[in-house]
Amino acid sequence: MKMSQMPYSAENSKQQLVGFGGINFSPRYKPGDLLNCENLSADEYPWISQRKNTAIAYTYTTDTPTGTYTSPVAIYAKDKMCIIDSDGKFYYDGTEITGHTFDVTNDIQMVTVNTKIMIFPEAWYYDTEESKLVSFGNIEWSVTTISNSGSPPYLYFKVADDYLQLYNTVSSVSFLNFTDGNGNINCFKVGDKLSFSFGVYDYSGTVTSITGSRIDFQTGDLNAGAGYLCHNGSVITFKRVVMPIETGETPPYPMFDYVCESNNRLWGVNNTKQIIYGSALGYPTDFTTYAGLSTDAYAVAVGSAGDFTACIGYGSTICFFKENIIHKLYGSKPSNYQIVTSIIPGVESGASKSLQIIKEVLYYKGRLGVYAYTGGIPSLISDNFGTVEYDESVAGTDGNKYYISMATAADNTVYDFYTYDTLRGIWIRNGSERIIDFAYLDGYMYYLEYIKPSTTQLNRIYQTGTGTEIVSWSAELCPFYENTQQRKSYLRLYLRYQPAEVVTGGTLNIYKKVVGVDSDYVLALSIGLTAVDEKTIIIPLPPNRCDSFMIKLTGVGKCYIKSLIREYQMGSEI
C-alpha cells in the first residue's frame, strides 16, 4: 500500500537588528557589535552614524602662501594654544616667543600653575603676564672675567642695607640678560635661590630685586666689606638652586620625570631619587622653602618598587602612579599631608599622557587595558578588545568622550585611534592615526598627528567639529549565527537608512560574506545618496548555505543606518 507523504515547507525566519554597538574583538560580542570600523560615532546610538568633520588647523611652511609652522612636535592649551615646532621654537597664541630653543627629542610635558606654563623636562616656563620664557631649573655654570676695558662679564659686589648687591660694571649689560654656559638668557629672577663663588668668597641667598644691572639678594653671611672687583681672569661659579641637591649630585641636575598641578602647587616625581616633590604654594619654581608654614614646599620619599609612570591631581587627592601601585596624597598643607598606598592596577609605562578626567572619572591606560578610576578599585573598560594588546598610548577629551591613540603590541609601528563614549559605554575605532598630543580649546578638540619622517608629509594639527570634509567611513559587523547551530540559507536583507547630508560622490555600499562560501566580501548593492529621505531597501541574495553570515557597510558622506533585517531559511544541522 502506498503511503501518503506530508508536504514539506520550510518557513523563513527573520532577525531584526535595531541597535548597533561598538567595537568588540572578544568572543562575547552581541548582534550588532562591530568587528572593525572607521570614522564612526556613537552620537546617534543605536543607529550607525559618522563622526564630526575634522580639518587641519593653523598654517604651515608648505602652504601657499607660506604659513607659520613646519612640523609641530607638541601642543598644549590653557586659554591659548601653545605649540613647539620641529625647530624647537615655542609659540603662544601664534606668536613666536624667543629666549630658548627646546630639545624636540624629549617627551615634552606642559602644565599650568597660575600664570606660568611649566615646560619639562628642560625646566622652563612661559609667563603669560610678562610674555617671556624663563629658565628655572637647578643650574651651575662658570664664567671667566676679562679686563675692565673689555667686554663683560666682570663683577662688583658689596654689602648695603643688609643685602648683598651684585653689579655688572658695564651699565649697558643687564643681569636680566646675563647668559649662562648653555647660552640661555634671563637666568636670574626674583625669588631665585642664587649663589656665586670665586676665590675665597662664597655667597648664597634669595634674590629679592633686580634693578638695571644690579641684583639684591638676602644672605646670612655679610662679610664682604666695602666691595670687591673681580679682576681679569677670575673664574666665577654661579649656581641656582630650585630643588634640594643631594650629596654627591653634579650638574646637570635632573628635576622631574612626570609633573602635574594641584591646588596652586607644582607636583613632580623623580625616579632616580624615588621622591615626590611639591612646590611652595603659588610658587612653582620653589622647592626649597621649609619655614614651618602652610605655604612651604614639600618632599617625601617612597619605598615601593618600580618607577613612577604618571601623576595627576584628582579631586582632593594627588595620585602618583606606578604600574601596579597608586600613591595617593591627602591633605591641604605640608603639616597634614599623608600618603596612602594602594596596590591596584596603575598606569602602564609609556602611558603618562593617557590620563584624562571626564565628569569626575579618571581614565588611563594600564598594562591590561584602559581603566576607569573613581577612587576605589579601577574598572577595566576595554574588555571588548579581547586578546588584542596595546602599548604607547596618548589620550585626550572633549569633556564627554575619551580619545586614545595606541600602538599595537604585536607591531609598535601600527597604531589604532579609538573613541570611548563615556555616556553609552561604546568603543569606536576612528582609524590608524598615531596621535602624539591632544588639546582642548574654546569648545574644540585638537590633536597632533605624527607622520613618519620618511614621508613627504609633516606633522599636522587637526581641529574637530569644523571644516567641509566629506567623511569616508566603514562598519564591519561581527558574524551572525542567529543563535542556532543549524545551517542556514540567507535569502535577502532589508536595510533602513537616511542620508544626513547630500555631497558630491555620496554613496552607500552593502557587502556580504557567506562564511565558508565567499573568500572575501562581495558587493551586494551600491546606492547613490542624492536626498536626505529615509528609505528601506530590499537586497536579494544568491542561493547559499552556511553556518554564519557577515555584513560590511561603507560609504562616502554621512548617513544614518537605522535598522537591518536578515531573512533566512533554516537547514540541516550539518
Q: How far apart are CA 313 and CA 330, in angstroms?
A: 11
What pLDDT sits at residue 544? 81
Provide the 10 A C-beta neighbour count for residue 375: 16
Q: Do residues 110 and 82 lie in contact, with contact meaning Cβ atoms separated by under 8 Å?
A: yes
**Under 8 Å CB-to-CB from 19, ≥6 apart: which residues?**
32, 45, 46
pLDDT tens digits for range 390-446? 999 999 999 999 999 999 999 989 999 999 999 999 999 999 999 999 999 999 999
pLDDT tens digits for range 140-155? 766 565 444 444 444 5
Q: How far apart are CA 487 and CA 526, in angstroms?
A: 28
| H or E element in which residue 136 lies | none
Q: Do residues 71 and 459 lie in contact, with contact meaning Cβ atoms separated by under 8 Å?
A: yes
User: Distances from the Cα of 430 to the Cαs of 405, 406, 465, 513, in angstroms?
Assistant: 9, 12, 14, 23
pLDDT tens digits for range 464-479? 999 999 999 999 999 9
**Under 8 Å CB-to-CB from 541, ≥6 apart: which residues?**
490, 491, 492, 493, 512, 524
Q: What is the pTM of this model?
A: 0.86
Q: How far apart are CA 496 and CA 551, in angstroms?
A: 14
What pLDDT sits at residue 353? 97
What pLDDT sits at residue 182? 45
pLDDT tens digits for range 30-54? 989 999 999 999 999 999 999 999 9
Cell of residue 168, nine digits = 655688572
Which neighbouring-strand residues pair with 492? 540, 567
pLDDT tens digits for range 197-217? 766 666 677 777 766 556 666
Q: Could you tell me the sign of the dihedral formed by the alpha carbons of 412, 415, 416, 422, in that order? A: positive
Q: Which residues of 62-85 are buried (b: 16+ CB within 10 A; e: fewer)?
A: eeeeeebbebbbbbbbeeebbbbb
Q: Do residues 545 and 489 lie in contact, with contact meaning Cβ atoms separated by under 8 Å?
A: yes
DSSP-based helix, strand, coil % in the chain, nearest 5: 0, 45, 50
Instruction: Flag the least confident range among 8-12, 532-536, 561-565.
Output: 8-12
